[in-house]
A and B are shown apart, each in its own frame.
Chain A
Amino acid sequence: MDAATPGVNALDLVGASVPDRLHEVSLALAPGTLVGLVGPNGSGKSTLLQIAAGLLPGGGSVRWGGRPLGEIPMIDRGREAAWVPQEAQFEFGFSVRSVVAQGRYAHGDDEHGVEEILSRLDLMGLANRPVNRLSGGERHRVLLARALATEAPLQLWDEPLAALDVRHALEVLVLAGEIKRDGRTLLLSLHDLRIAHCLDVVIVLHEGRLRAAGPPPAVLTPALLREVFGVRAEIAPGLVLKLP
């Protein structure tokens, strides 16, 4: 892990564009920040995450830790950034453990830390189960575990919480806190604005454009919520749920 060189951003996007989906989005994420990506359905959140992960060719430039993506060899990318897709479908019955261990591919399949991550995401009891026989929430936890197993300094998660029950969602947020403490960076898309409110930075996408970005209290104003989401609402501060 070569996270957090001072003064160098974990992620820089300049003019990221995909025709009809994303228009000239630029942003810079500092190391050690938790960043929420919000916006209505179809606003371009998944597209933005895929561009940031180097998975979708498009206009504009992407830098990880100050390095242009084009200069980073494919195998190194597997150590530098991890991406969690929104859909979790598996055609073949690999065991949960072996799918999580795929996160170590770019590390020469050394299996380092796999057991610990399995237990952190409450997957120990499922470790030998085939992934195509899991529930939706369980499959998402497997994908999160695989992303964490990479130990990548940049984590890009597409709606990681949507399929999870309350307890597992809170555990994932605790893990997010640890990512921040390690000086790593997490960009995650989500719909729950109360959770977005607890993060360091929130980025609002609307119709494929960057609408606002900054500290959540400054960004998630009633006026913006009305304009972007079409709702009259106000974010009440504080999350009531606490882990035992």
Chain B
Amino acid sequence: MMPPPRVSRAALPAGLLLLAALTVVSLGVGDLWLEPARIWAGLWHHDELAATILWQIRLPRLLVAMLVGAALAASGLVMQAYFRNSLASPGLLGVSSGGAAGAVLAIGAGWVSHSILVLPAAAIVGALLATGAVLILARRGASTERLLLAGVALNALLGAVTNYVLSNFTLSYERNAQILFWLLGGLEDRTWEHATIALPILGAAALLWPLGRPMDLLSLGALEAQSLGVDVRRLRRWLLALATVLTALATAVAGTVGFVGLIVPHVLRLLVGPEHRRLVPLSLIGGAAFVVACDLLGRTAGGLRVGIVTSLVGGPFFLWMLRRQA
């Protein structure tokens, strides 16, 4: 049955409230616990210790977590509408791996020392190549089997690329550690520089905002959408570009964080229905909240990286979805 309209209307304020609560908890929890009053004092530099912890460590990490979560969830939502398949997501399709492979190559080759823009650029190029490959593989209809198999193949291929860099480049210990970071996906030691790299995610999200309505029509069929007046070719180009850039930027600052793009839109669809005008803003907020929560969980569970937590939650969830679909 359709979710009752009251749930749909309450979802946006509820999501914002949840995100605000998670923000306070996330800023407060750590080696030194800060209660809300002290967070407030620290933010305005009335408490110098708290200020240092917040401004140097916790705020950039929180901001990166939010941006990464929002980007991955929105990217998953877009891919599901594009491929008309609720199992499509940047991780499963190999787009995240493409971004990671690009980033790893850039680190391994030592290009990242030239400019802070090299890393996101390499991630975007890698993700674009992966997206292109998925498009070719899924051109003749995007059945679940075809998409997932294409994803399996791409993930294996791109994994080989990263393994090649790891094993065949003579790398310093530091570069190897950096590469491992990308493979595991994490938010440790995120700085304002990372937050700056991730900031264009907000721009991509803003561009996605008005596409909600045509996405509704596209998600029920490309030809049908076109016959109803949607410029499908243009819409698809935009959606694919935005999904790829969102995934690439998230990957560039946090490595591969899996399953966010799968879980968040799916849960939201169960809560508020399939209308994209609601799902776009809710995915951004819900994705941010989910990754912040997973990071919090990982930090309190003795330093589990966020990519491990999302996968521990997401793996079983995905199997449950497959079972429901079958």
Contact = CB atoms under 8 A, between A and B. Distances in A.
A105 interface: yes
8 contacts: A77-B229, A91-B84, A91-B86, A92-B219, A93-B273, A105-B229, A130-B2, A150-B228
Nearest to B81: A92
A94 B226 contact: no
Interface string B69-86: 000000000000000111
Interface string A56-81: 00000000000000000011111101
Contacts of A105: 213-214, 217, 228-230
B231 A91 contact: no
B216 A94 contact: yes
Q: How large is the interface on B (under 10, 10 to 19, 20 to 34, 35 or more residues)?
A: 20 to 34
**Most chain B CB within a 10 A radius of its CB, from A50, A76, A102, A146:** A102
Contacts of B180: none
Interface of A is mostly: mixed
A130 B230 contact: no
Given A105-B229, A130-B1, A85 B223 contact: yes
Given A93-B274, A109-B213, A99 B228 contact: no
A81 B228 CA distance: 8
Interface string B203-245: 0000000000110110111011011111100000000000000
Interface of B: 1-2, 84-86, 213-214, 216-217, 219-221, 223-224, 226-231, 269, 273-275
Interface in A101-139: 102-103, 105-106, 109, 128-131
Contacts of A81: 227
Nearest to B221: A85
Interface of B is mostly: loop
A167 B156 CA distance: 54
Contacts of A55: 223, 226-227
Given A91-B220, A92-B86, A82 B229 contact: no
A149 to B, nearest CB: 10
A91 B85 contact: yes
A90 B213 contact: no
A98 interface: yes
A83 B223 contact: yes
A116 to B, nearest CB: 19
B227 A90 contact: no
Nearest to B220: A90
Interface of A: 50, 53-55, 74-79, 81-83, 85, 89-95, 98-99, 102-103, 105-106, 109, 128-131, 143, 146, 150
A94 B275 contact: yes
A95 to B, nearest CB: 5
A143 B231 CA distance: 20
Contact of A78 (B220, B223, B227, B274): B227
Contacts of B216: 94, 98, 102
A240 B147 CA distance: 49
A143 B216 CA distance: 15
A90 B2 CA distance: 15
Given A55-B223, A93-B273, 17 more contacts: A54-B226, A78-B227, A78-B228, A79-B229, A83-B224, A85-B221, A85-B223, A91-B86, A93-B2, A95-B2, A95-B273, A98-B216, A102-B216, A102-B220, A105-B217, A130-B1, A150-B228
A92 B274 contact: yes
Across the A-B interface, the 10 shortest Cβ-Cβ residue pairs: A78-B229, A106-B229, A83-B227, A92-B274, A74-B231, A75-B229, A78-B228, A91-B84, A105-B228, A55-B223
